[in-house]
Each structure stands twice: as C-alpha cells, then as structure tokens.
Structure 1
Amino acid sequence: MSSSFFLKPGAAKVAANKKRKLNATKAKGNAKPGKKTQNAVPGPKKQRRAKVDDEEIASDDDEEYNGNTLAFSADEDEEQETAQDKRLRLAKEYLAEIEKQEAERAEQQELSQSVEQRLQTEYLDSVGRLRRTIAADLKSCTIKNVLKHKLHHSPICALSLSADGKLLYTGAKSQYVLKWCTESGKVLEKGDVLPHREEPETTKKRRSHVIAICLSSDMKYMALAEGGVNIQIWCPQKMKHMQTFKGHRDNVTGLVFRKGTHELYSAAKDRSVKIWSVDEMAYVESLFGHQTAVTSIDALSRERAITAGGSDCSLRIWKITEESQLIYNGHKDGIECVKFINDEHFVSGGVDGAVSLWSALKKKPISTTQLAHGKGDNDVANWITAIAVVVNTDLVATGSCDGCVRLWQSNPNARKLQQILSIPITGFINALTFNADGSKLYVAVGQEHRLGRWWRLKAAKNNVVVIDLKSSNVNKKEQ
C-alpha cells in the first residue's frame, strides 16, 4: 500500500517540495567556493534519506551535549558557593579590612603619643621643669680613680667638667690649669696663667691661685679666676689664652656661664656681680646689693643668677631682665656656697655647718639640717665648703673638712633633705661636680681651704678623687 494513501490531498506534494529544498541546500553547502555547483544526480532515495537523518541526529546530539555541559558547570558553581556562603565570605573580608585599618590607626596613635611625650620631655627639660628621682636608687659607691700630677702639688681649688663628661679641667693654688681625659686619667694639656696676668708695675708679684673655672655649654670658651681682680678667657680645646676681663676691684671668687649661652656672670669680694658678653669680649653691667664679699654664684638657662653673700648671711636671686632682686635669709652665720637644683629650688651651705633647702617662692628655707658635717675638735661646726647637684634631680652632694663627702636626697614637696650615703675622703673638699646622669662624682681635695690658709690638714692629699655611684634601678622621671 502506498504511503501517500494516508496523506491528505496536497500533503504529498508539499512533502516532496520540502525534500527537494533540503537536498538543494545540502548540495550548495558541499560545493567548493569559486565554482558553480552542478546539478547532482540524485542517488537512491533510501540512501539520501538515511544520510540526512544521520546528519540531523549528529547535530542534535552535539547541541544537546553542549547544553548539558553548560548546565552542569552552572550547577557546580552554585554548589561551591551558595548565597549564604557568599555573605559569610564578604563579612570575613570586611572584618579583615577593619582589623587592618584599626591596626594601622593604633600604630599611628602609638607613634603620635611617643612623639608627643618626647617633645613634652624635651620642653620640660629645656625650661628646667623636668624632675628625675635618682637618689633613692643609689645603693653603693666606690672610689674609681685618684688623679694626681706634679704641677698640682698644692691644694686643688676648682673643677669644671665638659658636658659629655670626657674632659675635666682643674685649677689649684699654682699657676697651671690642667686638662684631663676622664677615661684614661691622663693629662692631655696644660695652661700657664701667670704670663697672661696684667699687673701694675708697682704691684709686687703674688702667689698664683686659680680659684674658679667654668666652661660654656658648647666648649667654646673657658673662664677662670686667676686669684686676683681679673678674669681670663681661654679656648678649652687648644688651651690658648684669648682675652682678659678687667673690672672687679677685689679678688674674683666665682664664675658661671648661663646655660646654652656665652653670657658670663662673675662674683667677687668687692660685693658686686658683673655680667660679661664673651662673644663680644665686652663688659655688660654690674649688680649691687650684697653688704659683704660674694662667696659663690650659680645660674641655669634663665636670665637669673643666685649668689651667696658670705657674712651678710643672705642669698639673692638676680632677675636681670626685670632689673630686680629677691633676698633670702635663714643661716645663722656666713654662707659659703649655693647651687640651683632647678629654676624653683636651690640648696645652700654655710659656716654654721647647716645645709638648707629653699624654694624661690619662700623667704625662709623649707628644710634645714643643722651640723650636717658634725663638729670639729674645738667643738665648732664644720663649715660647708662645697656643694654639687645633678640639675633637675633630687641628688645633692656636700663637702667639708670632717673627712667625708655626704650625699643627700632632696624632696621639696615633703620639705625634707635626707642623707643617703657618706664617702670617706680626708682633707678640705674645695669643689664638687657630678657628670650629667649622676653616675660619677669628682672631688677636689686639698690640705687647705680654697680661699685662705687658716689651718692645714697634713694627712690630706692634694688630688682629684673620682667616685662611681652605683644605682639599682633605671632613673625614674616625673613631672
């Protein structure tokens, strides 16, 4: 039975037309480019139909396989990270970024605080308001070295230490100033002050006597009192004489450079205090007020000087820019020496054997230790001959002729001056000086007092004693 029997009228014709179009399309696709396609001779009907079916099946399978592959890949991605996993991943990334930013911010804040603290410390130190407590940590002391030289066979009268603590300059009741290396303990250079004295022709030659020495902060100038009315200015590096200042009418007893400047203050027995500009090598002005010889002078960074008036029993702070002075009274007898602890407090020692702690805001001492170095054989108080302090700390050292150097802890807030150590050294303690951190103390020892020859201790040695101070803890700082 023919297959066309089941087709509707005209359907067989339509099917035949579709088949012819399909064959024509196939023939055109197989033709080579650039040549006309020849009419293909139709082969057997069954073979052509099978070939078309095979091609259509292969094409359908490929499309279906590719579609399945794509669908499978999309499903796999969805299985690897769901919506919840994605939110969790983004949250973790956000937290990690926040932690990184906070760590950077904390590091920056810590650095900022460190810089701020350092600037504040430097500022307080520059204005003299930085406080360090080191006296309480001192546990022991040992004599490290003794400096001797044949040119200093007479009593040592003056000491001055460089800011870095590497060079020490000493003067004695002789015509020489010696420059020492503190590490090796050897003399590097010497200077003779006698040829540079300018004496009137009618004046008899007098004994050499270097009574005071001071150094500028930058080690550019050294001033020394030659034992007379004049002040000599030297270059401490080359040990060469530069200039001689004249103006005092009696022997110069004390010299000090204002910290960080080349402004020199001098005190003398003529009851005056004079100011000199060493940069210009010129005299500036004189300050009067003491009734007797001025025995000691000190200054820090501010334009102020403090002086001890000897037997007039007064201390005076000279406000140079304000052209005024503050007067302090408290000792029962002459005042021999005075030192600034900081801009607000100072300490003094006198012939009455008392050591007093003062506040610049009070006219009377806030603490006084009577007979600080005991009494002598004649039942008279041993007078205080030298004082040294570590500036802006609580450590104070005092000397006398009782055979001991005593270390004290000053506490202005508690109104107390407490002894912490006693170091046995025989002789007159004519000068004391600490290094910058208070770990070493230099002591000028002599058989006689630096200002006179009232009596002599034959058992003493004329030398410089170097003392190591040992601390148990790191220095504490407080404002």
Structure 2
Amino acid sequence: MSFFMRNKTAKGPNKRKVDEQQKGHGTKFTNKKKKFNELDNESIASSDEEYAEQNKRDDELSNSSEDDHETAQEKKLRLCKKRLEEMQEYENDKAEFNEGAIAKRLREEYLEDKGKLRKTVADNYTGYDSFIYLKCKDHKQSITSICISSDGKYLFSGSKDGSIVKWSLDNNIKIKSIPGKGKLPDGIKTVVCLAVSTNGKFLVAGDIGTKLIKVFNAETMEFIKNLQGHRGYVTGLVFRKDTSTLYSAADDRCVKVWNLDDMAYVESLFGHNMSITSIDALARERAITSGGFDNSIRVWKIVEESQLIFNDTGNFIEAVKLINEEYFLSAGDGNLCLWGSMKKKPLCTVLNAHGNDDKNGESRWITSIATLINTDLVASGSNNGTVKVWKCSNSFRSLNLLFEVNIIGFINSMVFTPDGMNLIVGVGKEPRLARWTTMREANNRIVIIPFVKKIA
C-alpha cells in the first residue's frame, strides 16, 4: 500500500515543486555526468594507447633480429620452427633426466645408505700439478695430523709442539691458531691426532703429554672441555658421520665411545693385545682399528657388542682406513693391503709397496694412508717422502699404481679433499709416534697436491 502512496505523491500537487527543484539543479547534474563521461573516455583512451604501445614494443622485439621485409607467412614459419626446436630440446632433456639422472641418483643414495657405494673415478686421474705449500710459524715441529671439514672449506693441522692451526682452503691462509707447548692454560703439549665433527661444531685433539682428549669449538677454536678416561696417550680420534659420537683409541689398548652433545663418556671396548695405532669410522655404528704389533685389525660392532678380527701376516700395522662399509685399506711395515669385510684374509697385498731402503735394504715404512670415500681411489705415504696414488681394480681385488709424488720428509698424515681434486699431506722431520730418526733436510709443513684429470 505504501509503495503506491509514494508514487501518487510524485504525481500529485507537489510534482511541480519537484520539477522546479530538478530544473534548478539541472546544470549541476549535467556537469557531473559530463565530467564522469570525460574521465571514462580519458581512461579508455589511455588504455588504448598503452595497449597499442605494448603491441608496438612486442612487434619490435619479435622482429629485431629478422629482416624488415619478412612476410607474415615467413614469420609464421620461423616461429613454428623455433617452437618445435624448443619442444624437442625439452623432450630430450626430460628423457635424459628421467632415464639417467634420477635412476643413477637413487641408486647411489641407496648404495651409500647401505655402505656399498663404489664410484669409479681413478681412471680420470693422469697426474698432478705444482705443489701448494702451507707453512706458519706456529708449527715449529713435525706435522703429525691433519683433518678436513666435511664441506672441504677448512683444514686443521696439529704438530708435535702442541700447536693447532685452522686454515682456509678457499685462499690457503691461516685463520686462527692455538699455541703449543701448553702456553695456554688449556693448551696441548704434543698433538698426534685430530678429528672434526661432520657438522663442523667440534674439533678434538689427542694430547700425549696429558693423556687427555681436548675438545674445542671448531669455528672459534676456543677450548670447551677435557675428556678424561684413557690410561695411555690417545693415538686416534674419529667422529661417526653426521653425529656427535666420538670414538677414541689409545696406547692403553682400548677404544672409548663419547657423546659430545652431553660431553659424556659412554663405554669402553677391549680386545687388542697391544697399543692401538689408528681408528676410523663412517656412518654405521661401528669403528675399525689397527693394533700395531698384535698384527690385527678389528671391526667393533657396537650395537651387537661384538667384534670381527682380521689378522695380518706382517710385523706391524701402522694405519687403517675405510673405503666404504664393505672395504678398507691397511698399511704398516712396507705392505699395503686391501680388505673385504666378508673375508679374514686380504683381497690384495702389495709387498714392498714403496720399495726398499737404500741404506739397509729393508722395506720402506708406510707411515700413512688415505682413501677417497666411496670410490676406487686411495693413496699411501712412506718414511722417505714418497706418496703413491693407487686404483682399486678388479672389483677391489687388486691395486694398480697410477702415479707417485716425491716430497722430502715423513708423510705423517694425508687426506683427500671431498671433491677429490687435491691430496693434502702433513710432512715432518720425524715420524708421528716416535723420534727414532730425524730427516734434517725436510721441512715441517703442509703440502697440497692438486690432481690433473682427463678432460671430458
């Protein structure tokens, strides 16, 4: 009802008044409408101009490399060919990736997780380039141990004078050092072994003088804590990969397990009859050690609380290194041995691997070894400064010499850079664990040996 009433009012006596009001304001309404129309027209015109300008730019870009007289048909044909080429390249890359890269990567990840990965890389190495020398005043005595961060950016070196130096491998300069001879309250008297955790958080050093394991912050080189428990001097240290679990070996014939997140002792492992000379570990919860004069290598299965014993036929085992979880390398009184975890005897033995001494005719001592993890490339160093690079051939049943490098001094420690492009060597005038002889003409320094590889 009200709806109709309002309509009647608009048509009644007041209609004239309303018309007059509308007539009085007509100019105002007309001006507003005109203004809105002008704005709309300007907006439309602006949009048209921008659109035309954009088309012009697109045409210029598409035709910039083409002839000015190209016909529409020729242009269409050229663009079709270009599109087909792009599609073909995409499909080729996709096929190659799907068929090769993914399968290869998944297979490598699976084998690495199982500890069975074996990359064939040794055939790519043809020799070496000019040496790079790292030397500083902090190391006044023989270099005994070196270790490298998992990313390959930093190198740590230790000396018989107790000094420890952190190096940058990006520019081969010293970053920071810890003075030796116990000059600091928490300093070290004699370093014979070093290890750095995979995450780059901890650096540990074995001190002969105090029988302690010194723990440092690997980034700042600040002292954190002493780990005490060994009754003999510590001869070997290694972190389990991707963990803060530390394994230590010592002259007291036992292996100790530590948790560095809690800075706590976990357990001790016994079995060797003589002083342990070296220790190594990878990702599995196990460690491998060499027993020096007891001529044994032991694989410690920590979870199973058992051990595997491998007996060598030599007189002394100086060092042992894992290649992967299935194979490992050992060396000592002149012999270089390649082992498999499933056999008690070496798969391959190279007798007098570094020849005989010119003075006494005896086999030259192999003082250190190194392995490029999960590959067929290994190296050995002797007491006369010779470094030999080997290939594990015939399914890890033989060792073939690739080339040798001559350096003056005792090769006390060696490590490959993670990319396999360099071998870093710690050289000294004296052997790592003794002072029964001195090579006066040698220099206490670190030598970086850059490798030369075949051009792909």
Which TM class, normalised by the smaller chain length? 0.7 to 0.9
1:110 Cα deviation (Å)?
6.2
Are 1:133 and 2:120 counterparts? Answer: yes
Match of 1:224 in 2: 205
Q: 1:208 to 1:118 in 2, by over 3 A?
A: same
Match of 2:134 in 1: 147
Q: 1:333 to 1:189 in 2, by over 3 A?
A: same
Given candidates 319, 334, 340, the residue that maps to 1:359 is 340
1:269 Cα deviation (Å)?
0.4
Structure 1 segments unaligned to the other structure (5+ residues): 1-101, 199-206, 475-479
* 3-state SS in 1 of match to 2:283: coil
Letter in 1 for 2:261: D
Query: CA–CA distance in 1 between the matches of 2:318 and 2:370?
Result: 13
Given candidates 355, 367, 373, the residue that maps to 1:391 is 373
1:411 Cα deviation (Å)?
2.3
Letter in 2 for 1:428: F
Query: CA–CA distance in 2 between the matches of 1:118 and 1:360?
Result: 25
CA shift digits 1:143-195 (9 cap, x unpaired): 33111111112100010111222211110011321111113221111124623
Count of matched residue positions in the alignment of Structure 1 and Structure 2: 365
* 3-state SS in 1 of match to 2:404: strand
Query: CA–CA distance in 1 between the matches of 2:120 and 2:92?
Result: 31
Match of 1:467 in 2: 449
Query: CA–CA distance in 2 between the matches of 1:106 and 1:464?
Result: 47
Are 1:324 and 2:311 counterparts? Answer: no
Q: 1:144 to 1:105 in 2, by over 3 A?
A: closer
Q: 1:394 to 1:107 in 2, by over 3 A?
A: closer
Q: 1:366–1:412: 8 Å Cα contact kept in structure 2?
A: no
* 3-state SS in 2 of match to 1:151: coil
Q: 2:379–2:387: 8 Å Cα contact kept in structure 1?
A: yes
Letter in 1 for 2:218: P
Query: CA–CA distance in 2 between the matches of 1:338 and 1:107?
Result: 44
* 3-state SS in 2 of match to 1:339: strand
Query: CA–CA distance in 2 between the matches of 1:135 and 1:104?
Result: 33
* 3-state SS in 1 of match to 2:345: coil
Are 1:188 and 2:200 counterparts? Answer: no
Query: CA–CA distance in 2 between the matches of 1:125 and 1:318?
Result: 20
Q: Percent identity?
A: 41
Q: How does 1:395-414 map to 2 (within 5 A)?
A: 395-411=377-393, 413=395
Match of 2:189 in 1: 208
Q: 1:151 to 1:112 in 2, by over 3 A?
A: same
Match of 1:239 in 2: 221
Q: 1:355–1:370: 8 Å Cα contact kept in structure 2?
A: yes
Query: CA–CA distance in 2 between the matches of 1:104 and 1:425?
Result: 51
1:106 Cα deviation (Å)?
9.3
Q: 1:299 to 1:473 in 2, by over 3 A?
A: farther
Query: CA–CA distance in 1 between the matches of 2:424 and 2:438?
Result: 22
Letter in 1 for 2:397: R
* 3-state SS in 1 of match to 2:395: helix
Query: CA–CA distance in 2 between the matches of 1:190 and 1:403?
Result: 26
Match of 2:17 in 1: none
Q: 2:338–2:396: 8 Å Cα contact kept in structure 1?
A: no
Match of 2:323 in 1: 341
1:105 Cα deviation (Å)?
9.9
Query: CA–CA distance in 2 between the matches of 1:456 and 1:444?
Result: 16
1:212 Cα deviation (Å)?
0.6
Structure 2 segments unaligned to the other structure (5+ residues): 1-87
* Two-structure CA RMSD over aligned residues (Å): 2.2
Give structure 1 regions of 4+ aligned residues with deviation exceeding 6 angstroms: 102-110
* 3-state SS in 1 of match to 2:366: coil
Q: 1:263 to 1:379 in 2, by over 3 A?
A: same
Which has the larger displacement, 261-270 or 376-385? 376-385
CA shift digits 1:5-29 (9 cap, x unpaired): xxxxxxxxxxxxxxxxxxxxxxxxx
Are 1:174 and 2:161 counterparts? Answer: yes
Letter in 1 for 2:294: D
1:304 Cα deviation (Å)?
1.1
Q: 1:154–1:174: 8 Å Cα contact kept in structure 2?
A: yes
**Normalised TM-score (structure 1):** 0.73
Q: 2:138–2:179: 8 Å Cα contact kept in structure 1?
A: no
Q: 1:115 to 1:420 in 2, by over 3 A?
A: closer
Q: Highest Rg: 1 or 2?
A: 1
Match of 1:375 in 2: 356
CA shift digits 1:84-140 (9 cap, x unpaired): xxxxxxxxxxxxxxxxxx999998776654444433322323332222112112111
* 3-state SS in 2 of match to 1:448: coil
CA shift digits 1:308-335 (9 cap, x unpaired): 0000000000011110000001232010
Letter in 2 for 1:463: R
Q: 1:106 to 1:436 in 2, by over 3 A?
A: closer
Letter in 1 for 2:164: V
1:197 Cα deviation (Å)?
4.6
Query: CA–CA distance in 1 between the matches of 2:394 and 2:272?
Result: 27
Q: 1:271–1:290: 8 Å Cα contact kept in structure 2?
A: yes
1:257 Cα deviation (Å)?
0.2
Letter in 1 for 2:206: A
Query: CA–CA distance in 2 between the matches of 1:155 and 1:178?
Result: 13
